[in-house]
Structure 1
Amino acid sequence: MHQAQDAVVTVERRTGAYGEVVLRKNGETYEIIANGTFLMDTADGRSERLLVDAALEALPAEKDGLRVLIGGLGVGFSLARAASQPRWGEIAVVEREKAVVDWHRAGHLAPYSEGALEDPRVRVVQADLVTYVRGSDEQWDALCLDIDNGPDWTVTENNGSLYTPSGLAACRERLGPGGVLAVWSAQPSAEFEAALRQAGFAGVRTLEIPVARGVPDVVHVGVKA
């Protein structure tokens, strides 16, 4: 149920290199708004946790010391989930907005990341994810990406290139053999499933989390063939 409009309070508003980012409180729920687009809130978190769970489950059960890159710190659900799983030996979270990192380090969102930023396995990379994926030479066992409302609903125009053939090829290059790409979306996309297959990902599937109203949140998963 939506909160009454007069219950929505702007906690902090910042303008940076990528536009405006706002932290709001809607009743008891915190919301992140980027460039006027609702990005995520603290109301649920099931699909953000599934993003990490699905990637881990797709990797060989006997393998530990795994390396995961989380694209987007957001409200911290995905990072907290990864930090709770001992099989991840290294966890990097790429977040381009300093404000979001600040809200977790000593701010209103700290309870939702559950102290994960203090975990010795965790490092924060303050960078644009698209630029980082295309320019890095690091290899990961899993990429868990949640920087938009989905491949068809991006926060900034540049993000759209992540879901193109060249962007998916860059993601594939960042993965080791058998590595997993997991992408969060606010709605299913058969077109994106097809794009994953065309980019050389196998075992492509879409996992759904029902929501109170409208289409389910989903996680698209593919394995580097």
Structure 2
Amino acid sequence: MLPRETIDTAQIPNGEELTLISHGRDFIIMLGRDELMGTRMQFSEEQLAELTIAELEEPAPNILIGGYGMGFTYRSALRHLPENGRVVVAEVVPEILEWAEGPLAELTGDTLKDPRGEIVICDVAALIDDANDGTCAKWDAILLDVDNGPDGIVRDGNQRLYSTTGLGKARDALKPGGVLAVWSAAPDHRFSKRLKEAGYVVDERIVRARPNNKGPRHSIWFARKR
């Protein structure tokens, strides 16, 4: 049996510690004893971007992604991005980008140099607030994959993203008809209800973790601004 080897650790601001682990040819990012993501199961995170972009009518969408992780959602967004579109990723842990350019460089490829994309070291909530106060343009889509679901397990501050107030701020940061997409490791009927109460038209889909229709079932909410 292949051993797991720790490559590096990183402290989440106002949160726990992340650990980057290698397991044979695969890599895993752990939060304590919980597996946040790994290279063996990335399909649903790629679908988060692909399916969201398919929902957009804007020919050159302005897309915000909360959380870089291993870059699955970001790379998928770049692959499916219409011409002249733009993707901004908000990531709070600087070491995540060091891993992307270091031990995960083969996985990353040259995507961090893509002129259509930008990685910003900040809380995604700050960029949502900037759109609301006019500091930056409104978004055609906001994609959230900063936790394992609509619960602030990675850092306490993330909880506000999924609150009624946070969902309202995300709605206001979207252009008319824009989409808030939230990835989750499991269903959450209370969150579905909260999205509807916040004024969204909600479509929840179940996506497998692997493209061969195997692996765990993950949930993605597509919440469209009325």
Is 1:35–1:155's contact at 8 Å kept on the other side of the alignment?
Answer: no
- Provide the rounded CA distance (Å) in 2 between the counterparts of 1:37 and 1:134: 30
Q: Which residue does 1:112 correspond to in 2?
A: 107
For 1:108, give the aligned amino acid. P
Q: Which residue does 1:194 correspond to in 2?
A: 193
User: Do residues 22 (structure 1) and 19 (structure 2) align?
Assistant: yes
Note the C-alpha offset of 1:169: 0.6
Structure 1 residues 183-192 or 130-139, which shifts more? 130-139
User: Do residues 79 (structure 1) and 74 (structure 2) align?
Assistant: yes
**Distance 1:107-1:223 versus aligned 2 partners, 3 A rule:** same
- Provide the rounded CA distance (Å) in 2 between the counterparts of 1:189 and 1:206: 10
Is 1:80–1:114's contact at 8 Å kept on the other side of the alignment?
Answer: no
**Distance 1:97-1:58 versus aligned 2 partners, 3 A rule:** same
Note the C-alpha offset of 1:136: 4.4
Within-5 A mapping of 1:16-165: 17-18=13-14, 19-60=16-57, 63-87=58-82, 89-104=85-100, 106-137=101-132, 138=136, 139-152=138-151, 154-165=153-164
**Distance 1:21-1:95 versus aligned 2 partners, 3 A rule:** same
User: Do residues 224 (structure 1) and 225 (structure 2) align?
Assistant: yes
Note the C-alpha offset of 1:188: 1.1
- Provide the rounded CA distance (Å) in 1 between the counterparts of 2:152 and 2:81: 33
Q: TM-score, normalised by structure 2?
A: 0.88
Q: Which residue does 1:13 correspond to in 2?
A: 9
Q: Which runs of 5+ in 1 are unaligned?
A: none
Q: How far does the alpha carbon of each residue in 1:61-109 deviate from its partner, in whole angstroms, 9 at most, with x for none? A: xx311111111001111111111124161110110000001111x2122
For 1:26, give the aligned amino acid. H
CA-based RMSD of the aligned residues comes to 1.9
Q: Which runs of 5+ in 2 are unaligned?
A: none
Aligned residues: 216
4+ residue runs over 6 A deviation = none
Is 1:162–1:168's contact at 8 Å kept on the other side of the alignment?
Answer: yes
Aligned residues: percent identity?
31
SS at match of 1:93: strand
- Provide the rounded CA distance (Å) in 2 between the counterparts of 1:16 and 1:194: 30
For 1:21, give the aligned amino acid. L
Q: Which residue does 2:172 correspond to in 1?
A: 173
Note the C-alpha offset of 1:191: 1.2
For 2:197, give the aligned amino acid. Q
SS at match of 2:223: strand
